[in-house]
Amino acid sequence: MRKNIVAGNWKMNKDLAETKTLISELKGNVITSDAEVMIAPTFTNLLTASESLKDSEIEVIAQNMHFAENGAYTGEISATMLKSIGVKTVIIGHSERREYFNEDDVLLKQKVDSGLENKMRVIFCFGEKLEDRKNGDQFTIVENQIRKALFHLPEESWESIVLAYEPVWAIGTGETASPEQAQQMHHFIRRLISDRYNFDVADSISILYGGSVKPENAKEIFSNPDVDGGLIGGAALNAESFMAIVNAFS
């Protein structure tokens, strides 16, 4: 059965002291939801975060990684390095990585493969830009992003994949896809996977929505049958708003 998941992507925010403060505030909240809860601090704070959340229900995950195991890749971090500090889940393909760091489908496929070879769980992000939606190309764009990075995988690998549909025009803009737009796209994605693999794979994959999810709209978005949670940016930087979103599932 698929899981509900709420993951907070802290992006390049929160230094060490701020990370400790936010984590202690998060720990002060009660999770009443059935959702798995994750936070993705910056690389420099992953170890501190994993240690302080070791016995909690909150999993610490990474925002990115390189596809190689090690070597001459200045400034990069590998799956084995993440695993060595207890990080077992990684976000791959965030639109900011695609846009500002030129990460394309070929590279993302290599990152996905490396994550899976290292027995990590991969949260794979994708989504159309505003002009794509205006042109009515959103389904083609999303289909291509998924097809190129994931459809070479054998069926069993899908147990370790979580999908995150994040329309670029809704990220950090305050503009959210309507619950109908989210449901329509998530349903499309599930059908795509069912056609490529089978109903069981499609039915068991968690598909998260990301793009200006806030305490005020979380319940409505999450109540859609094909939306299994959220990838949260801005609202994850505040314990109260993040926990309100997490508990929107209860």
Binding site for ligand PEP (CB under 6 A): 9, 166, 171-172, 210-213, 231-235
Q: Spot the catalytic one: 59, 96, 103, 166.
A: 166
- 166 given a catalytic annotation: yes
Q: Spot the catalytic one: 94, 96, 103, 186.
A: 94
- 57 given a catalytic annotation: no
Which of 58/232 has CB closer to ligand PEP? Answer: 232
Which of 115/229 has CB closer to ligand PEP? Answer: 229
> Which residue number is nearest to ligand PEP in terms of Cβ?
233
Which of 89/212 has CB closer to ligand PEP? Answer: 212
Closest separation in Å from C-beta 122 to ligand PEP:
15
Strand order in the sheet with 5-9: 58-60, 36-40, 5-9, 229-232, 207-210, 161-165, 121-126, 89-92
Closest separation in Å from C-beta 237 to ligand PEP:
9
Which of 45/202 has CB closer to ligand PEP? Answer: 45
Closest separation in Å from C-beta 229 to ligand PEP:
12
Which of 26/231 has CB closer to ligand PEP? Answer: 231
CB 244 within 8 A of CB 28: no
Residues annotated as part of the active site: 94, 166
